[in-house]
Structure 1
Amino acid sequence: MRELHVVDACELASAYAAAHYAVVLDGDVIAFRVGEHAGDVEAYWAARRYAFITAWNPASRPLSEEANNLADGRLVARIEGLDLVFHPAWASDHDRQWRESGWLVADLDPTVLDALATEFGQAGALHWEHGEPVRLRMLLARPPDCGELPSVEWLQPPVED
């Protein structure tokens, strides 16, 4: 298992929560955002739950495109092994200066999502139930000085002062 060394978990969660996400369904690009309902995604592709995961830049350290693509291939093999339906997706910042490829997966159990994210060195992943707002699942502890971030779930015990 990879160990994440994040300089500022709160800043990272804020960036993930503010990111723009999109998926390609039947050739159409459909956007979704943390904290918002993904009604367009759900109308196009009916599932009980949805998850966005990437294998790019594990431990929040930029890697070469070749290394990211190799990790992505391993992630695809793991998702295929779970016999789940998935579509190409990505995350980017507001200015499109940063972009990471990933996958939107239907009906992936959140505990399996967390295990995959951990296996691939990710600090967070998105998950939501049909009809509910998109949530960010941070696999890190919430720092004590981090204010409340709507739609962010911290999955590790809080860091003590």
Structure 2
Amino acid sequence: MRALRIVDALELAAAYAGAEYAVVMDGDALPLRVGRPASDLEAYLPARSYALITAWNPASIPHSDAANESANAALVARLDAAGIARQPAQGYSSDGQWREPGWLLFDVGEMGLDLLAREFGQAGVLAWSHGQPVRLRMQLSRPERADELSCVDWALD
């Protein structure tokens, strides 16, 4: 388990919530946005619940491509060992300065998702139930003014 040292949890959550996400399916990218329903994706990939996780840049610190690929391989091995179905996904900034590949997971419980996020040093993951808006789940304690981000859950509350 990796320790996260975040200077400003609210600022980090706002950046993650404002990022763009997509699930790659049959050559198409189905967009995801925090706070919005994922109706198109849910129609193609029905499940009770969804989560998006990456192993790239643990603790929100940039790592080399080689280190990130190694972390991703470890995450894939962990998902395979647990029998967790997945679909390629990615997160990226609208200005194109940041991009991270990841995985859309199906029907992973909140506790299992939190364990995976912490094991791979991820400060935030996406998680939502079918028919509900996409939510950001931060692996941090709720900071002051957290109400400013209505689609964010704080796992350490």
Shorter-normalised TM range: over 0.9
Q: Which amino acid aligns with 1:52?
A: L
Partner of 1:132: 132
Q: How does 1:37-56 map to 2 (within 5 A)?
A: 37-56=37-56
Partner of 2:111: 111
Q: CA RMSD in A?
A: 1.0
SS at match of 2:43: helix
The answer (yes or no) to whether the contact 2:114–2:155 under 8 Å persists in 1 is no
SS at match of 2:76: helix
Q: Distance in 2 between matches of 1:146 and 1:85?
A: 32
List alignment gaps of at least 5 residues for structure 1: none
Q: Distance in 1 between matches of 2:18 and 2:124?
A: 13
Normalised by the length of structure 1, the TM-score is 0.94
1:32 aligns with 2:32: yes
Could you give the per-residue CA deviations for residues 118-158 of structure 1, whole angstroms, max 9, x where no partner exists?
A: 0000101010111011011101012225452011001113x
Normalised by the length of structure 2, the TM-score is 0.96
* Cα displacement (A) at 1:84: 2.1
Q: Distance in 1 between matches of 2:79 and 2:114?
A: 13
Partner of 1:5: 5
Partner of 1:71: 71
Could you give the per-residue CA deviations for residues 95-127 of structure 1, whole angstroms, max 9, x where no partner exists?
A: 111011100011111110100000000101010
SS at match of 2:127: strand
Partner of 1:155: 155
Partner of 2:62: 62
Q: % of aligned pairs identical?
A: 55
Q: Distance in 2 between matches of 1:128 and 1:147?
A: 19
SS at match of 2:87: strand
Partner of 2:85: 85
Number of positions where the alignment pairs a residue of Structure 1 with one of Structure 2: 157
SS at match of 2:95: coil
SS at match of 1:78: helix
